Amino acid sequence: MQNPRISGPGARQLPLAAARAPTLGAPQDPSGPQGLHGPRDLGSLRELNLRFLELDWTRAALGGRIAALTRTQRAVMADCPYALFDLRLGDHEYWQLRLQDAHSWHVADRAPVGADHAEFMGLALFFAWYSATAATLSAKLALCMHERTAAAFSRITVNRIPDLVVTESAALSARWSQCAPFWSALVLAAASGDEQRLRRVQLSGIQLAAATQLPLRREPRAV
């Protein structure tokens, strides 16, 4: 799966969604990180996943198979205890540079960001900032956030987020985009309605998330 980028007119900000996406037997206990601050944080993460899957280019991915799912099936697909999107939070050098000097990046010079993309980025960046300030290991694992990235985010205030939506929107991609078998398996499991099959695929995502946190920072292999 390739890493598409989006641009377009308009942008707007909304509060962080807290409502949990509809679920059909998705993992609850040992299948996910156990330190996100309870159902509220897990619900917010799953809602972000669903919003990501609803973006136009995400729906067109995998030969249109995500778009072919019903919204309920996409909600099932999104019901993972880790992010299905990638904001390059594992790249601490990138974020340390971007966050250390607000005047180095000129918002006026950036191309307009599409409204849906901007809305998603605002929510996702707020959740990343919140997770960094909460300083929980499980939240960092769920977002693939490097400790130095978390430290950099914890030093900024929430007022920086609107500018970051514009300057950093190109950083958004699908998580584990190089692992096409994972995405294919997740789509097929969500479409099948088989809870055990879905759980197995989601568990493989936990393994991929853990692999990215290894000291050698190796790229995870396809599952």
Do the domain assignments include residue 43? yes
Residues 88 and 94: beta-carbon distance below 8 Å: yes
Is the confidence at residue 77, as pLDDT, over 70?
A: yes
DSSP 22: P
Considering only residues 152 and 210, tell me which one the structure prediction assigns the higher pLDDT: 152
Confidence class of residue 209 from pLDDT cuts 50, 70 and 90? confident
pLDDT tens per residue, range 148-192: 999 999 999 999 999 899 888 889 999 998 899 999 999 999 999
Burial class of residue 213, CB neighbours in 10 A (0-12, 13-18, 19+): middle
Q: What gap in Å lies between CA 22 and CA 8, rounded to an integer?
A: 29
Structural domain containing residue 153? 38-211
Residue 7, in any domain of the structure? no
Q: Read off φ and ψ for residue 104, nearest 5 degrees.
A: -80, -20
Q: Which of 188, 157, 143 is nearest to 42 (CA)?
A: 143
Number of structural domains (the chain) is 1
CA distances from 185 to 158, 177, 180, 189, 199 (A): 37, 13, 9, 6, 11
pLDDT of residue 72: 95
Give a yes or no: residue 125 inside a domain.
yes
Sorted by sequence, the CB contacts under 8 Å of residue 57 that are 6+ apart come out as 4, 6
- Note whether residue 17 is domain-resident: no
